[in-house]
Amino acid sequence: MDFSVESLETPALTKAQLADLLFEQIGLNKRESKDMIDAFFDLIAASLVDGTDVKISGFGNFQIRTKAPRPGRNPRTGEAIPIQARRVVTFHASHKLKEQIQDEGKTPSAV
């Protein structure tokens, strides 16, 4: 099944636009489409909050990384400020996604 996003007006793909694509191309009603998108992202978020990595085959991996506390400084005043330890989400694209991005960026003469 081929999904088309050429009709998007903004450069960002939103959850509402994803729900509209499900409605238009798969035939789910708008409420089901919205609920499916919300459930998908809620599941990803809950897994990451629990410390579980999320791997989406052919797309990439979302991982939780714990950053250690470190010294920092206020760039305006130069005052030393401690930066607390925190957890951050990182994303690593799969090889398939990287290849698709590279192939799309090539000019016709370079392909």
Chain segment 31-57, per-residue pLDDT in tens:
999 999 999 999 999 999 999 999 999
- Do 63 and 106 lie in one domain? The reply is yes
State how many domains the chain has: 2
- Do 66 and 110 lie in one domain? The reply is yes
- Do 47 and 29 lie in one domain? The reply is yes
- Do 48 and 83 lie in one domain? The reply is no
Distance from the Cα of residue 54 to its chain's centroid: 11
pTM of the model: 0.71
Structural domain boundaries enclosing 29 = 10-52
Q: Is residue 107 predicted with pLDDT exceeding 80?
A: no
Mean pLDDT of the chain: 88
More confident residue, 38 or 10: 38
- Do 22 and 39 lie in one domain? The reply is yes
- Do 47 and 23 lie in one domain? The reply is yes
**CATH number where 35 lies:** 4.10.520.10
- Do 75 and 110 lie in one domain? The reply is yes
- Do 14 and 34 lie in one domain? The reply is yes
pLDDT at site 64: 95
Termini Cα distance of the chain: 25
How far apart are the C-alpha atoms of 101 and 3, rounded to whole Å?
Answer: 16
pLDDT at site 111: 44
Q: Is residue 4 part of a domain?
A: no
DSSP state of 58: T
